[in-house]
Amino acid sequence: MKVEAVQKPKYAAALITGASSGLGAAFVRLLDETLPDDVALWLLARNEEKLKTFAAGLKHQTRVLALDLRDEASCKRIGDALREQGASVQLLINNAGEGREGRFEELDASSCRSLCDLNVRSQVAVTSAVLPFMEAGSAIVFVASVAAFLPQPGFAAYAATKAFILSFGRALAEELRRREIHVTVTCPNPMLTDFFTHEEKEKLLASYKRWGIENPDTVAAKTLGAVRRRKVVVVTPLSGRLVRVLSKVVPVKWMTRLLGMVLV
C-alpha cells in the first residue's frame, strides 16, 4: 500500500509593527474584520500589557511580540519566532515610527538618533528578518508620510527618514515583483495619534495643517485597498497628491524655502 505524505497546512500570519496605538491599531482592527479566520495576527510594540489588552478584544488568534525595534536583537527574535511556528507571513506592515518636531540644532541628539534607528534601520531589518517567511501572493506595507515628498524645515530628520522609506519601498517593489511579493508604500497626512504630544496636537489644530488631518481608520482602509489593487505608492489625502505633484514640477529649492517660511 502506498502511503501519501500528508502536507501539513502552513501557519499563516500577518505581522503589524507599532500595533498598539494609532495607525497600527487601526490596521489591526480592520484586518481582524477582513482576514480569513485562519490567519493569526502578530502584534508588535514595546508595551506588552497594552498589546495583550488590545489582543484580548480581537476575534483572530493573536501573538504578542513585546520588542523594542531599535534593539538589534529584536529582529532575530522575530525570525526565531516565525521559524519555531513554521509560519508563512502573508502580510507585513512596517508601521512603527516616531517623530521629532523642531529646529534640528535645538533637538536632543540622542532622540534624533532614536528616530533614525526606528524609522529607518528597524524597518530595513524587520523586512530582512521576515522576507524568508514570505511566499508568492504575500505583501509588505511601509508607512511613510506626505513628508516623504519634500525636505521639511522644522521636521528635517523625520521627513528624511520617510523619503528613505519611500525610495526603499519602491525599489523593493521592483525587486520582489519576480517573487510575486507585492510592496505598497503609504503616505498619509497628520493624524491625531500618540505620535504627537498634547502641545503638538494643540499647535497642529491651530495651524493650516488642521485642514489636512486624517483619520487613522480611513488611512488604514485606503492603504489596504491599495494593497489589494497592487498599487506601489498610495497618497491617502487629496492635499498630499497636490504636494506630490508640486514636488515634481516646482524646484525643490523654492519649495523648501517656502516650507521654511511657513513651518519654522
Ligand X SMILES: NC(=O)c1ccc[n+]([C@@H]2O[C@H](COP(=O)([O-])OP(=O)(O)OC[C@H]3O[C@@H](n4cnc5c(N)ncnc54)[C@H](OP(=O)(O)O)[C@@H]3O)[C@@H](O)[C@H]2O)c1
Which H or E element spans position 82? helix 72-85
Q: Find the shortest distance in angstroms from Cβ 185 to ligand X.
A: 11
Q: Find the shortest distance in angstroms from Cβ 182 to ligand X.
A: 19
Q: Which long-range contacts (CB under 8 A, 24 or more apart) does 97-102 make?
A: 97/18, 97/143, 97/161, 97/195, 98/195, 99/155, 99/158, 99/195, 99/196, 100/155, 100/157, 100/158, 101/154, 101/155, 101/158, 101/200, 102/154
* Residue 91 Cα distances to 11, 33, 114, angstroms: 13, 15, 26
Torsion of CA 122, 148, 192, 219, to 10 degrees: -90
Q: Which is nearer to ligand X, 153 or 190 (CB)?
A: 190
Q: Find the shortest distance in angstroms from Cβ 152 to ligand X.
A: 12
Q: Which is nearer to ligand X, 137 or 225 (CB)?
A: 225
Q: Which is nearer to ligand X, 138 or 236 (CB)?
A: 236
What nine digits make up the cell of 183?
A: 510592496
Q: Which residue has the cell 495607525?
A: 23
C-alpha closest to that of 91 among 194, 229, 228, 263: 228
Q: Which is nearer to ligand X, 21 or 61 (CB)?
A: 21
Q: Which is nearer to ligand X, 127 or 145 (CB)?
A: 145
Q: Find the shortest distance in angstroms from Cβ 263 to ligand X.
A: 14
**Residues of this chain that bind ligand X (CB under 6 A):** 18-24, 45-47, 50, 68-70, 95-99, 118, 143, 145, 188, 190-191, 193-195
Interatomic CA distance for residues 159 and 145, integer angstroms: 8
Q: Find the shortest distance in angstroms from Cβ 213 to ligand X.
A: 8
Q: Which is nearer to ligand X, 34 or 53 (CB)?
A: 53
Q: Find the shortest distance in angstroms from Cβ 7 to ligand X.
A: 35
